Amino acid sequence: MEIKVLQDILSANDRIAERNRHLLDEKGVFALNLMASPGAGKTSLLLETIKRLKNRVSIAVIEADIASSLDADKISKEGVTTLQINTGGACHVDANMLNNALESISLEDTDLLILENVGNLVCPAEFTLGVDRNVMISSIPEGDDKPYKYPLMFSVANAVLVNKIDLLPYLEFDFRNFSRGVGVVNPKAALMQISCKTGDGMNEWISWLLAEMKK
């Protein structure tokens, strides 16, 4: 019975995700789902991305947290449309939450929509949303074993960003082991090393994002 209920939930979610996909396509919006564990650097990446792109494309951000609007407050200071979703305990954003949020955003005036999903390496990967690309952030302090421990999250990512590479001299992290793990579960994923603190790798990330928006 539990399996049947889960199948029904995911099936209903997928139908709403398809509606989201049609709506975003109709309005010409490129949508990005940003996923990571808490503290990996989702908000930092968002801020650096906005600084580099806000004069080139129109950006809207949906911030999802279990509670508070701390990250949304930071993002809104950059002068982009920002909407807060509080999931009230849910460990992910589902397609219906996104659908409701889209009603409050002027999609006609938006080129790039970025959702910062709830910090979690499990649930966000299980729910399709209808976005164009999924981006996964992992960070040096988390260790190089995450692709092996959380394969589903890495398998749904179009790009995997390894953040905080400025900490490599101080922490043990085997990038070859990490890369091998990503390659096993998702050989097509773009893999990039970045530091939101120093700016290293950010040009590669921005180039990838702009290229994907043109496809």
- Nearest CA-CA partner of 60 in 99, 32, 37: 32
Per-residue pLDDT at 5:
46
d(CA 91, CA 104): 22
* Positions of the chain with pLDDT lower than 70, given as ranges: 1-9
Per the structure, the complete domain to which residue 208 belongs is given by 2-214
d(CA 104, CA 98): 10
Per-residue pLDDT at 87:
85
Per-residue pLDDT at 66:
85
Q: CATH no. for residue 200?
A: 3.40.50.300
Per-residue pLDDT at 9:
66
Per-residue pLDDT at 192:
98
Q: How many domains does the chain have?
A: 1
